[in-house]
Amino acid sequence: MQVRDYVARRLMILPLLIVGTSIIVFALSRVGGSPIAIYLSHEMTADEVAEIEERYGVNEPLPVQYLAWAAGALRGDLGWSGVSSAPVRQIFPKKLAASAELAVAAGLVAVALGISLGTFAGARRDRWPDHFARIFSISGASMPVFWFGILLLILFWVILGIAPIGRSDPGVFARIAHPTGVYTIDAILAGDAGALWDAIWHLILPAITLGYGTTAIITRMMRSSLVEELGEDYVDAARAKGLPERIVLRRHARRNALIPTVTVVGLSFGFLLQGTVVVEIIFRYPGLGRWLADAVLRGDRATIMAYVLFTSVLFLLINLIVDVLYAYLDRRVVLGE
């Protein structure tokens, strides 16, 4: 099968998956307890309750409710966020900018570090860098994100007193405009080096916490696929051509070892998204994750639904891109089931 056909087929399945996901999300909101409980209070009269029920259409048959909700979601209307006392669509972009900044920072560090460390270890199989990488990656996979964050906090905040908490210094925040909501970019736009430093400074610990698990996964994958590639004949063939070891490693083995690593990078995006929930709680970082945690504790279903739907669609798209990239990169792969 051609890569083009494969992409076309994947694109055809995509809407199906999105619809399926949205049905699950909708179903979730109707399980156990009233979806509008957060909008009600004890002081309301029966008429007032009936009016709210009417407004949210909870007395309609479920399919009708689903269609109404889905139509709203398509228009960008995701309901009223109880925890923020504002429409979801209004709050969402700000929170997203904050979380995206954190996740991208963590992701970039994880990819760069994971690939280098994995290459370094794989090329020195069974010697000490390799053992170190193994310990690093297996402990990263077992590490509870929140515990790691707390360890860093105890060390850098409580004991050393050098790390900040939150997302920015209030004085610095007030100093510059925030057109994008991504503070590092805002600082660059404002040309304020101090603000940029402040934004980065607040990002470091959360990004390390969030990125550790992902780095571990990428390191492990990169190492094992490099070891596998180094055992292939074409690596010997490259050496037999007289190429220096550095070129053999970079141009031949690492290039091919990167291909399976790409899939892990895609999957680890989900890992990063999940991680923001706890990381943001620990570092009091005002992003999507903490918003979700608040919503979860208060039973704010509109917010939960919006969050789950958004991350799932994003996750789907990213996996699609990764799969297509993989099919394109790995010419050995036989496409199909």
Partner 1 sequence: MGLIIIVALVGMALLAPVLTVPNTPDPAQMPRDWGALNEPPGTPGHPLGTTTSGGDVLYGLIWGARTSLKLSVIVVSITVIIGTIIGSLAGFLGGRIDTVLMRIVDVFLSIPELIFALAIAAVLGPSLRNIILAIAAVFWVKYARLIRGQIIHVKQNEYVDAARVIGDSRLRIYLKDILPNSMTPLVVQATLDMGHVVLIGATLSFIGLAEAGLAEWGVLVSEGQTGISAGRWWVSLFAGGMIFLWSLAFNLVGDAMRDVLDPRMEGR
Partner 2 sequence: MSATDPTSPASMHSGTGPALAERVPLVSVEGLRVHFTSKRGVVHAVDGVTLDIGDGETVALVGETGSGKSVTAKSLLRLIPRPPGVIAGGKALFRSKMPCPGCRGAGCVDCGQTGRVGEPCTACAGAGCGVCGQSGRSTVDLLTIPEDELRDIRGNRIAMIFQDPGKALNPALTIRAQIAEVFAEHRSDELVSEAGLDDESGRLLRRAVRNRGRFFERRLGSLPPLRSQRRRVDAVLDGRIVEALADTRIPNPVKIMRSYPHELSGGMKQRVMIAQALACDPDLLIADEPTTALDVTIQARILDLIGELQARRGTSVLYISHDLSLVRGIADRAAVMYAGMLAEVGPAEQIFADPLHPYTRGLLAAIPTPGMGRGRLAAIEGTVPELIDPPPACRFHTRCPHAATACARTDPPLAIRQPPDHRAACLLYDDAAEVGERPEDMPDRSAAS
Site residues (vs partner 2, CB under 8 A): 126, 231-234, 236-245, 247, 251-252, 255-256, 259, 329-332
Q: Which of partner 2, partner 1, none lies near 237, with the C-beta cut-off 5 to 8 A by kind?
A: partner 2
Cβ 143 to partner 1 shortest distance, Å:
6
Q: Which of partner 2, partner 1, none lies near 31, with the C-beta cut-off 5 to 8 A by kind?
A: partner 1
d(CA 54, CA 58): 7
- For residue 149, the one-letter residue type is G
Residues 6 or more apart in contact with residue 110 via CB below 8 angstroms:
211, 212, 214, 215, 218, 268, 272
Q: Which is nearer to partner 2, 176 or 262 (CB)?
A: 262
Q: Which is nearer to partner 2, 75 or 332 (CB)?
A: 332
**295 contacts partner 1 (rule: CB under 8 A):** yes
Cβ 294 to partner 2 shortest distance, Å:
46
Question: For partner 1, which residue of 26, 271, 283, 291 counts as binding (CB under 8 A)?
Answer: 271
Q: Which of partner 2, partner 1, none lies near 243, with the C-beta cut-off 5 to 8 A by kind?
A: partner 2
Cβ 293 to partner 1 shortest distance, Å:
5
d(CA 187, CA 318): 28
Question: For partner 1, which residue of 109, 123, 145, 218 counts as binding (CB under 8 A)?
Answer: 145
Question: For partner 1, which residue of 164, 224, 286, 324 counts as binding (CB under 8 A)?
Answer: 224
Burial class (CB in 10 A: 0-12, 13-18, 19+), 198: buried
Nearest to 206 by CA among 166, 178, 237, 169: 166
| Piece of the chain touching partner 1 by CB under 8 A; list 1-9, 47-55, 67-75, 306-314 | 306-314
d(CA 19, CA 38): 26
Q: What share of the chain is helix, strand, coil (3-state, %, to 5)?
A: 75, 0, 20
Cβ 142 to partner 1 shortest distance, Å:
4
Q: Which is nearer to partner 2, 11 or 247 (CB)?
A: 247
What's the token pair of residue 232?
Answer: 């292939």
Cβ 322 to partner 1 shortest distance, Å:
13
Q: Which is nearer to partner 2, 53 or 130 (CB)?
A: 130
| Piece of the chain touching partner 1 by CB under 8 A; list 48-56, 94-102, 176-184, 303-311 | 303-311
Nearest to 162 by CA among 201, 135, 190, 114: 201
Burial state string for 302-318 with b = 16 or more CB within 10 A and e = fewer than 16: bbbbbbbbbbbbebeeb
**158 contacts partner 1 (rule: CB under 8 A):** yes
Cβ contact 224:201 at 8 Å: no
Looking at the DSSP bridge assignments, the partners of residue 80 are: 87
Question: For partner 1, which residue of 6, 132, 156, 157 counts as binding (CB under 8 A)?
Answer: 157
Grouping H, G, I as helix, E, B as strand and the rest as coil, residue 87 is strand
Cβ 209 to partner 1 shortest distance, Å:
12
